[in-house]
Structure 1
Amino acid sequence: MIALLDLRQTLDAFAACNDDHDVWASFGWVHASEGDLLAARFWLPADEDAAFDDDGEVPEAVQALGLSACLEPATFADVLDVQKRQRPLSSLQDYAEALAYYAEYDAFLQVDGVDEALGEAGAAEQDAARAAGVGPGIFAAFELTLACAGEQVKAAAQRVAQLLDIPVGEALARCRALPVLLGEALDRRRAQAIKDDFEAIGVRVQVRGFKPFPWMDVPVLR
């Protein structure tokens, strides 16, 4: 079955991946219909065997739907990432323009006002994105903080020492002072593993999720 998506659903599918490796493992190619990408339809085949026939062509059933090969998944993700680094609160229209530009010129769109050498937005824009709950990349990101260790302060200190690669004595002092930042800009799997590790000794951590795109809900852990 060929499940067609609009641009927003396609970006959401990429954002649902844990990281770049997940993108590679999840999608074989990005096929899209011609014309304005905001009105286009997309298909994300699971692998290259599904994306192309034995002759290396887009399958006839897919062509019949008006779709053709658009971009490799890794390249598609790179275009989104470059656009977001330049303009963290980019709209769906902004991403459509960035993708169309790359498809035509095989180059990333340079956003006006952004230093080309730095390739990222200024501090004010980054702060505004963070305040809006939008993370730094195109995947969900998490910030974990230890705010209360209770009676498990020594056990918590051992885990903090291992996690932050610091002496146990220093970790114990931090756990008594609190709060302790356990990690920021963590991907979902890493954040979940840290959370589970502390909860295994009866210590809860505060979790703040950051969404990949402004229109998405704030991500949460189990």
Structure 2
Amino acid sequence: MPRLLSLREAVETLAGCLDDEDMYRRFSWVYASEDLPLNEARFYLSSDEEEEDPVADELGREMPEFAVAHKLTHYLEAATFVSVLTVQKEQQPLSSLDDFSKALKHYHEEDAFLDLGHFASDDWTARAPVIAGISRELFAEYDLWLEDCPADRVGDAARATAAVRKINVGAALALCRQLPVSLGTRIGGREREQVEERFSALSLPLKRTTHRSLAWLPSDDGN
């Protein structure tokens, strides 16, 4: 059901997607209340489905009925909104909500990313700072490993490990006899789900370390 969001809620909702593909599938446009500072504005994240039957607002602009009912206006495409957050995060991994607000305001007014003096060079991605517990881009990243395995399940664990790490079963068997074994470092949410599902089907729980998407979010490590 559509609902109005604060800036923090909008940023957290988009950052909570598994990856770009998941975000594209779920969201289309970001709408916002007009003539208000971003920290006071209310936002609405529409889906493609909600964009299919637009209605006209008082100025004749077509947008979803929910946006018109709450007197919102087009702000940015969801993909562009996420790109602005990503560029800001890559330059300043510990960005606060105020930092993201400044980056969004700059893009909305100037049609250009806010350059903090870092991202313009071609090798910026390779030089981007890596901070423990914080993902490199906008979406969360994960480390997974198998820490414990009953002796009678080592063969099953080895076959699953071989598939995940793309190595032969013999090499995987040697790893699984000397636990713990890494099953991914800083992998995305979609890959995390796939690996965890594979081992869950074998009743072999994995340990997980979460590199969270936003600095202000609490740690969310678990099995």
Bin the TM-score by the shorter chain. 0.7 to 0.9
Q: 2:166: which partner in 1?
A: 165
SS at match of 1:77: helix
Measure, in 2, the Cα distance between the counterparts of 1:121 and 1:110.
Answer: 17
Alpha-carbon RMSD: 2.7
CA distance in 2, matches of 1:53, 1:156: 55
Residues 33-72 of structure 1 correspond to what in structure 2 (within 5 A)?
33=33, 34-47=35-48, 49=51, 52-53=54-55, 57-58=62-63, 62-63=67-68, 65-72=70-77
1:158 alignment partner AA: R
Q: In structure 2, do the counterparts of structure 1 residues 59 and 192 end up closer, same or farther at CA, with 3 Å as the change threshold? A: closer
Q: Which residue of 1 aligns with 2:105?
A: 100
Partner in structure 2 of residue 139 of structure 1 = 139
Residue number in structure 2 paired with 1:126: 130
**Do the aligned residues in 2 keep the contact of 1:18 with 1:187 (CA within 8 Å)?**
yes
Shift in alpha-carbon separation, 1:69–1:115, aligned structure 2, 3 A: closer
Structure 1: runs of 5 or more not aligned: none
In the alignment, what sits opposite 2:208? 207
Tell me the matched-pair count: 217
Indicate the larger mover: 191-200 or 87-96: 191-200
Q: Distance in 1 between matches of 2:81 and 2:175?
A: 42
Q: Deviations over 1:62-114 (max 9, x none)?
A: 35644211111111111111111111110101111111111122221111356
What is the CA deviation profile of residues 129-187 of structure 1, one whole-angstrom value per residue up to 9, with x for unaligned ones? x2xx2222222322101122231222211111111111111111122223221012333
| 1:85 matched to 2:90 | yes
Cα distance in 2 between the residues matched to 1:176 and 1:164? 16
Preserved contact between residue 188 and residue 221 of structure 1 (Cα < 8 Å)? no
SS of the residue 1:23 aligns to: helix
Paired amino acid for 1:145:
W
Q: Check whether the contact 2:90–2:137 (CA below 8 A) recurs between aligned residues.
A: yes
Deviations 1:3-25 (A, max 9, x none): 22111000111122222122222
Whether the aligned pair in 1 keeps the contact of 2:207 and 2:222 (CA below 8 Å) is no
Tell me the residue number matched to 1:26.
26
- The more displaced of 14-23 and 197-206 is 197-206
Change in Cα spacing, 1:115 to 1:30, as seen in structure 2 (3 Å) is closer
TM-score by length of 1: 0.84
Letter in 2 for 1:210: H
- Distance in 1 separating the partners of 2:119 and 2:190: 32
CA contact (8 A) 2:154 2:176 kept: yes
Q: 1:8 to 1:50 in 2, by over 3 A?
A: farther
**Letter in structure 2 aligned against 1:81:** T
- Amino acid of the residue matched to residue 139 of structure 2? F
One-letter amino acid of the counterpart of residue 82, structure 2: A
Q: Which moved more, 1:96-105 or 1:45-54?
A: 45-54
Counterpart residue type for residue 175 of structure 1: C
8 Å contact from structure 1 (residues 158, 171) kept in 2: yes
The question of whether the paired residues in 2 share the 8 Å contact of 1:140 and 1:187 is answered with yes
